[in-house]
């Protein structure tokens, strides 16, 4: 009796450890498939922003909304992944290159402007959106119509962002520039009249202006202070994926989903977006 | 790998100079404010003691980021209290110094209070017996001995303060952490090199501080 009990216990232990290792093994396989080859239709990890309303936003109930999210979902679908097979991962600006290079994400759709320095480390597909640096002002403010007007104004942008640097070096070096940690802080200042304008890409501004709580309070000035071509970042040298994503983007524009996504996410701010840009990367 | 430093686009030394300025102004301010707080906490007046205790416990346990952003959003942008600054650059710097003093002062106070505890009670009793007032006992007898005992802890507070100045970047003070953010935005292909430059910068600022004040602490300590 005693012996059989011990044997049973041992058998259970062996069985448990076996299933445990089997579990670990299969999990690892799934992870490497999703991250590397894309051959197995298991899961795809996509990098997006979590904090930009209208573009990439994680809502308190854990859903993802925004134009970038819609583009990512469409592209993933063209690559053969259903929406429930997509796993979104936060890609803050400074970490995008590393996430891609390390293979933590398959691709990144996160207001990612294509430029030469970034191309040293990653490749791009697209562009899928052409944004311009623009200004957001209070809805009743008519004193700012061109970039030079800023030299006597108080301006807000996010610490270290390209837009803030543009203002300091090119657009309006004499403007009184306040750099805040996030755009929400800037909006508070704009509402309190502590600053006169908020500057960054018009797509991001439109996203904030289109938020339910901000409706009617702010307006876009409609300047084109710079050209930002948003691309989809992917691993350097992955020509196959690049071609596939480019094809998906082309299809998205042709079948009207692209325009629909723009209207849905950025439309409420009376934002006139540029037409979909020509795809230039990888051709 | 470090070629971004040669482009002339980034004023790394200038940014660290702002860090040093922030540190020095805040250090001077928090030494004064901290000493005043310590005086309150050991004073015979219950109201002052209560205020000192409440302030230290409240502010010390509030995240510095919250204090600094509170200065910017609350004082400057909402109440329009700009401490006499004209541009956001000036206002931001002054607000950051204010926030850092408010926060660091509590740590100076607590360090000093532990120093006061090292002074034998007999010293204060003897001083009182000579007819000195509380203020005289504190400033002439107790604090000078207390300070000599807490040079090393104060050095730690100073080092922490140096590193805490990076929080000022959140309200747009153009110090080292803000420049690092700018460089990360532009030079993301060299993230680790950028990081290394700034990490090294802070080590160069804090290590000598620690060594120097450690040496001073040994020299001036009261042997009991």
Q: HEC states along A101-128? A: HCCCCCEECCCCECCHHHHCCEEEEEEE
Segment B144-158 shows an average pLDDT of: 94
ipTM: 0.73
pLDDT confidence of residue A2 = 56
Please check whether residue A219 is in contact with residue A137, taking contact to mean a CB–CB distance below 8 angstroms: yes
Selected for mutation to probe chain A from B182, B187, B193 (highest A CB count within 10 Å) is: B182
User: And the tokens for B217?
Assistant: 């602490």
> Could you tell me which of A186, A199, A211 has the C-alpha nearest to residue A265?
A211
DSSP secondary structure, A60-81, as one string: TTS-EESHHHHHHHHHHHHTT-
Partner-chain contact B78 A194, CB within 8 Å: yes
Selected for mutation to probe chain B from A47, A165, A166, A194 (highest B CB count within 10 Å) is: A194
Partner-chain contact B178 A117, CB within 8 Å: no
Partner-chain contact A118 B171, CB within 8 Å: no
Selected for mutation to probe chain A from B15, B67, B185, B186 (highest A CB count within 10 Å) is: B185
Mean pLDDT of chain B: 92
Instruction: Find tokens 């000598």 and name the residue.
Output: B208
CA nearest A118 in B: which residue? B189
pLDDT confidence of residue A264 = 84
A-B CB pairs within 8 A amount to: 79
Q: How far does A151 lie from chain B, in Å, by closest CA?
A: 12
Which chain B residues contact residue A98 at CB under 8 A? 191
Partner-chain contact A160 B77, CB within 8 Å: no
> Could you tell me which of A217, A223, A181 has the C-alpha nearest to residue A199?
A223
Cα separation, A165 vs A113, whole angstroms? 15
User: And the tokens for B6?
Assistant: 């040669």
User: Which stretches does DSSP call E strand in chain A?
Assistant: 44-48, 51-52, 56-58, 64-65, 86-90, 107-108, 122-138, 154-158, 176-180, 197-201, 218-220, 227-235
pLDDT in tens, chain A (283 residues): 555 666 666 655 555 554 544 444 443 444 444 444 444 558 889 999 888 888 888 888 988 988 899 999 999 988 888 888 899 999 888 788 888 988 889 999 988 888 888 888 889 997 999 888 988 998 888 888 887 788 888 899 988 888 888 888 888 888 888 888 888 888 888 888 888 999 998 888 888 888 888 888 888 888 888 888 999 998 888 888 888 899 888 888 888 888 888 888 887 666 777 777 888 877 6
CA nearest B9 in A: which residue? A169
pLDDT tens digits for range B194-203: 999 999 999 9
Give the A window 75-114 contacts with B, CB below 8 Å. 93-98
User: And the tokens for B99?
Assistant: 């926030």
Q: Which of A154, A162, A165 sits opposite B88 (nearest CB)?
A: A154
Cα separation, A244 vs A248, whole angstroms? 6
> Could you tell me which of B154, B155, B171 has the C-alpha nearest to residue B64?
B171
pLDDT confidence of residue A184 = 83
Cα separation, B222 vs A79, whole angstroms? 74
H-type helices in A113-213, by residue range? 116-119, 162-166, 183-191, 202-209
pLDDT confidence of residue A37 = 44
Cα separation, B124 vs A193, whole angstroms? 55
pLDDT confidence of residue B53 = 96
pLDDT confidence of residue A16 = 53
Please state, in angstroms and as integers, the Cα–Cα distance from residue B175 to each residue in A166, A260, B182, B185, following that order.
Answer: 18, 43, 11, 16
């Amino acid at each position: 009796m005693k012996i059989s009990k011990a044997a049973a216990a041992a058998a259970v232990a062996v069985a448990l450890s076996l299933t445990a290792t089997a579990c670990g093994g299969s999990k690892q396989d799934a992870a490497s498939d999703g991250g590397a080859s894309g051959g197995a239709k298991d899961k795809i990890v996509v990098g997006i922003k979590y904090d930009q309303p209208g573009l990439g936003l994680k809502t308190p109930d854990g859903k993802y909304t925004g134009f970038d999210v819609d583009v990512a979902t469409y592209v993933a679908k063209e690559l053969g992944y259903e929406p429930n097979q997509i796993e979104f991962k936060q890609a803050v600006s400074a970490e995008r290159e590393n996430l891609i290079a390390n293979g933590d994400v398959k691709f990144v759709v996160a207001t990612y402007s294509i430029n030469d320095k970034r191309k040293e480390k990653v490749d791009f597909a697209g562009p899928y959106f052409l944004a311009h640096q623009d200004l957001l002002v209070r809805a009743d403010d008519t004193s700012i119509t061109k970039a030079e007007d800023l030299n006597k104004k108080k301006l807000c942008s996010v610490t270290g962002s390209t837009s803030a640097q543009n203002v300091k070096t090119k657009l309006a070096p004499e403007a009184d520039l306040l750099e805040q940690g996030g755009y929400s802080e800037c909006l508070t200042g704009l509402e309190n009249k502590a600053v006169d304008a908020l500057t960054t890409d018009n797509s991001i501004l439109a996203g904030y202006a289109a938020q339910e709580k901000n409706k009617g309070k702010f307006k876009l000035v409609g300047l084109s202070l710079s050209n930002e071509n948003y691309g989809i970042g992917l691993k350097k040298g992955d020509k196959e994926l690049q071609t596939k994503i480019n094809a998906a983007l082309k299809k998205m524009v042709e079948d009207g989903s692209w325009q629909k996504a723009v209207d849905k996410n950025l439309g409420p701010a009376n934002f006139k977006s540029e037409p979909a840009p020509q795809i230039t990367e990888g051709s | 790998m470090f070629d971004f430093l040669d482009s002339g686009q980034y004023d790394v030394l200038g940014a660290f100079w702002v860090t040093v300025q922030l540190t020095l102004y805040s250090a001077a301010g928090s030494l004064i404010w901290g000493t005043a707080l310590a005086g309150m906490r050991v004073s015979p007046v219950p109201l002052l003691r209560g205020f000192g205790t409440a302030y230290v416990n409240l502010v010390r346990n509030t995240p510095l980021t919250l204090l600094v952003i509170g200065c910017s959003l609350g004082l400057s942008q909402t109440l329009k209290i700009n401490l006499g600054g004209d541009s956001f650059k000036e206002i931001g710097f002054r607000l950051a110094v204010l926030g850092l003093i408010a926060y660091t002062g509590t740590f100076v106070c607590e360090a000093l209070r532990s120093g006061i505890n090292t002074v034998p009670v007999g010293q204060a009793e003897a001083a009182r017996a000579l007819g000195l007032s509380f203020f005289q006992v504190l400033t002439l007898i107790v604090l000078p001995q207390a300070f000599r005992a807490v040079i090393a802890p104060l050095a730690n507070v100073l080092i922490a303060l140096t590193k805490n100045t990076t929080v000022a970047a959140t309200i747009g003070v153009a110090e080292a952490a803000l420049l690092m953010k700018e460089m990360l935005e532009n030079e993301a292909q060299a993230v680790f090199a950028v990081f290394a430059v700034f990490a090294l910068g802070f080590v160069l600022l804090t290590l000598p501080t620690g060594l120097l004040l450690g040496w001073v602490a040994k020299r001036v300590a009261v042997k009991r």
